Amino acid sequence: MLRMLKRFAALLSATAISGIGVAGAEGLTIETLHSLDRVSGPVPSPSGDRVAFVVREADLEANRGDTNIFVLALTEGAEPLRLTDEPESDSEPQWSPDGETIYFLSSRSGSSQVWRQSASGGRARQVTDYPVNLATFRLAPDGERIVFAAAIYPECDTLQCTADRLQEAEDRPETGMLYESLFVRHWDSFKDGRRKMLFSAPIEGRRMNAGDPVRIMGSLVGDVPSVPFGGRDAFVISPDSETVYFSMRKAGPEEPRSVDFDIYSVAVTGGVEPVLLTEGMDGKDRAPTLSPDGGTLAFTSMARAGYESDQTDLILMNLASGDMHNLTEGFDRSVSEPVIAPDGKSVIFTAGDVGTHPVFSVSVSDGKVSRVTEGFSANAPAIAGDSLVFVERALNRPADLFAVPLSGGEKRQLTEANAEALAGIEMGAYEQFSFEGAEGATVYGYVMKPAGFQEGEHYPIAFIIHGGPQGSFSEGWSYRWNPQVYAGAGYGVVFIDFHGSTSYGQAFTDSINGDWGGKPLVDLQLGLAASIEQYGWLDGEKVCALGASYGGYMINWIAGNWPDRFDCLVNHDGLFDLRSFYYSTEELWFPEWDLSGPYFENASLYERWNPVAHVDKWKTPMMVIQGLKDYRVPPEQSFAAFTALQRQGIESQFLIFPDENHWVLKPQNSVQWHREVLSWLDRYIGNGDEPASTDR
């Protein structure tokens, strides 16, 4: 699992990141961060005695990560078995009903197809050989059929039709694209008319090859899973292998303004129109899952139309009667990843709670919610026999697999994927704190000591502002904004969950609507002051603020509305002009909810919180960073901010990534990002070094 570390370290040795330095301690560096294995997606075997899971292993030379599948027996001291070890990525393991075979997606044939392999190892065999890439799939419980998603032209009756049209487009000399409705582009790509649609195919013959696929969505057109981040939790197959339940938002002119996802059911063999199960429910209904007896459907649901950050409740539907019940109506947290217990008496789920994201259980009989785990950040819960298996991470450790008995008991760590890579690395100690924020509310944040912390010393502050804005830094682990990298470079780190953050109740989340630059700014001001007062080792005279997306918006807002506090600023993909942002972003439901309608109907509110109106007060040195494939916060926002800085003679830099979107995903680009950002901080609050790179 750790086979690439030495090669990775050698390749990165010439690009070590500067920092203010801490004698006698080695903190986390971006080199180490990107050498780490990333554990995800535990899938229990039918007998519950093993789990298959995926590990992403870093490959800086290829500027990517490769995913492979491992199998682990749930016995004390068991070691993971590497099932796949190909240069191409293997992912999404699924067990056969007898537990002897694992089906998975692989690109080893040149396109993404379903393969299978003995769960004990051996040679892999190809199951599908279709002319288009498969996006995700599920194996029916009886093992006789697969249901998969593939991006096709909706008017095509066959997969080959889509493949032919793609080839024709590639062969044409002209490159113009004609559109008649919005969603011209989404996230980081332009729309070409294809949609991810569900197909079903039988597993035929002794060689277990997949037969001819049938489209099972009838006349419905939309993306299953949703684009760009949906996964196979968008659909599920009934225990009797007869029915598929899926979540979808209809395609059409209203799509850029709608978060109305509905749950449908359809025969696994197709040939009939899907049945709408959530008629009259106008919010986001998703993540369908079934009880072991197939009689109850559970799914997550938001009530308010157009609001992507609404309270997410857990709904149970009796499939025989159609009756629905909100099981978490009295639980003021948003539910995700539901799993119905084998006895049907409870449902397991994860939820954010006061800056953490643990596992919970809710009783079906009375709606009583109880904790299964404490603190940290958990996801992907799955029931394996009499245990719950899940992925857990924290602010001082990356993801590993853990298990806890369903009947209660001690949590047990199943993997230590990065023990060797992190040996000798000193993580910054951290703790959560609270203070009185805007309007007297209790607001929470985290503070992290630098690696090699010494009593009596004072440390400059990296003040990180999260995006969303309906989000949370939470007690987790990130490969983009990881506070341990700043702690490893010798900085104290402070991050605040301001008004609008999730995991503190829906009213707190809602409080940012129409108030982007109000209460959140007050919280940041009071939170920074409180952290400096509570933690005497923080040097309040040396502070730089950093943020991306809404965090980048807040950097631009701070530059004009709190201009005397910071020594430097870092603005990544930040909103600069809310008027031009509204007319150029793609998911219009976001600004139209948060800012109470389209710009042309409520310009006064947009302008009230518009950073561009305050550029005449800008004075703080700022680094601006932008991915040119970012269509959520289009590049012109950052170009405009840099123009405002340069024309006023304010010290500034502009770091552009032509091949990145709203995030910086390629390992080498991330190394450069951190090198430049830490050099920028060093210049103003660190050791005064010039930036590490002069290629600008």
Q: What is the pLDDT of residues 349-397, one digit of tens each?
A: 999 999 999 999 999 999 999 999 999 999 999 999 999 999 999 999 9
Q: What domains appear along the chain, each with residue ranges and CATH number?
A: 424-685 (3.40.50.1820)
DSSP secondary structure string, 266-328?
EETT--SPPEESSTT--SBEEEEEE-TTS-EEEEEEE-STT-TTS-EEEEEEETTT--EEETT
Sequence-ordered strand ranges (E) for 410-452: 412-413, 430-436, 442-448
Cα 501 to Cα 252, 316, 476, 508: the distances in Å are: 31, 27, 15, 7
| Mean pLDDT of the region 456-462 | 97
CA distance 272 to 508: 44
What's the mean pLDDT in 36-53?
97
- φ/ψ of 323, rounded to 5, equals -65, 140
- Identify the pLDDT of residue 25: 61
Q: Quote the pLDDT of residue 372.
A: 97
Please report which helix (H) or strand (E) contains residue 452, including its range: none
- Contact criterion met (CB below 8 Å) for 653 and 680: yes
DSSP characters for 315-365?
A: EEEETTT--EEETTTT--S-EEEEEE-TTSSEEEEEE-BTTBB-EEEEETT
pLDDT at residue 267 is higher than 70: yes
Residue in the structure block whose two tokens are 């770091």? 655
pTM of the full predicted structure?
Answer: 0.95
Query: What's the confidence (pLDDT) of residue 20?
Result: 55
Cβ–Cβ under 8 Å, residues 509 and 470? yes
Question: What average pLDDT does the segment 562-567 reach?
Answer: 98
SS3 state of residue 618: coil
In this structure, what are the phi and psi dihedrals at residue 521, rounded to the nearest 5 degrees?
-65, -45
| pLDDT on residue 60 | 77
pLDDT at 521 over 80: yes
Q: How far apart are CA 252 and CA 355, in angstroms?
A: 37
Q: How confident is the model at residue 62 (pLDDT cuts 50, 70, 90)?
A: confident
Backbone angles phi, psi at 689, to 5 degrees: -65, 150
